[in-house]
Amino acid sequence: MTDPDTVTDSAVRLSTDDGILVVTLDRPKANAVDVATSRALYAAFERLRTDPGLRVGIVTGAGERFFCAGWDLKAAAAGEAVDADHGPGGFAGLTEFFTLDKPVIAAVNGLALGGGFELALAADLIVAAEHAEFALTEVTLGLVPDSGGVLRLPRRLPAAIAAEMLLTGCRMAAPEAARWGLVNQVVPGDTLLASALTLARRISRGAPLAVSAIKEITRMTEGHRVEDAFATMRGSGTPIYRAVLNSKDAEEGARAFAEKRPPVWTGL
């Protein structure tokens, strides 16, 4: 059951659905992000991190045309600095939130441009509406996509394709993004949120600690050789993984399998 919407900021709406936090960016007309909105988004993702009753987050945009147009250029014209402090989570509250060990799904309902694309790239999974498009347009504005785009996109796409997007600002439509493996699903626009919720519920069926440990391990070992990655995973720098090994949920998983019943997770 979905609870009534709560508001962290006039531009950010929150609702919950069986342990899933839905974060909706609502800043007509383009869902652009200024400093205040970045901080409100961070507050939403921090709630996801700290609330034990929340398992997965979904971030989406209001309307059908824009997921997020990126940095609010009207705020920039009014004096907001290009290097303004967007808060602990970086631009849009998520692009530098490296300690968030719960999954986030970007439900991209339209254009994801510049920082909006960077917000989607910072999520763990992307579900896109059929009409969605992605672009890093910063080079056309004399800027660099330094809220993760220039770092994350080459890790998600073949080098030449990422370079073309970065150097030209060209758009990529959702079906092409799916072909390159950039998005997980492309769905009709009117089923976008339902599809994202279905994916979130599939994740929620897993043990909470195990899900968080997977995020922790992949974050800590990114770019490592397999031998070095094993050493990191087995070492002291992955406390969630260590907790999984001695957890009650690990015992429950084996017991439930043997007893042929669904497991009852406690997160302990």
Q: Which residues are known catalytic residues?
A: 118, 138
How far is it, in rounded angstroms, from Cα 8 to Cα 196? 22
SS3 67: strand
End-to-end CA separation in angstroms for the chain: 25
Asked if residue 44 lies in contact with residue 23, where contact means CB atoms within 8 angstroms, the answer is yes
Paired sense of beta strands 12-17 and 6-9, if any:
antiparallel
How far apart, in Å, are the Cα atoms of 151 and each of 31, 121, 136, 166? Answer: 23, 10, 12, 10
Residue whose token pair is 């330094």: 146
Helix axes 226-234, 208-221, angle to 10 degrees: 130
Closest CA to 103 of 180, 199, 183, 182: 199
Please say whether the dihedral angle defined by the alpha carbons of residues 204, 231, 152 and 178, taken in this order, is positive or negative. Answer: negative
Asked if residue 60 lies in contact with residue 67, where contact means CB atoms within 8 angstroms, the answer is yes
Which stretches within the chain are classed as H helix? 35-50, 73-77, 115-122, 149-156, 159-168, 174-179, 192-204, 208-221, 226-234, 239-245, 248-258
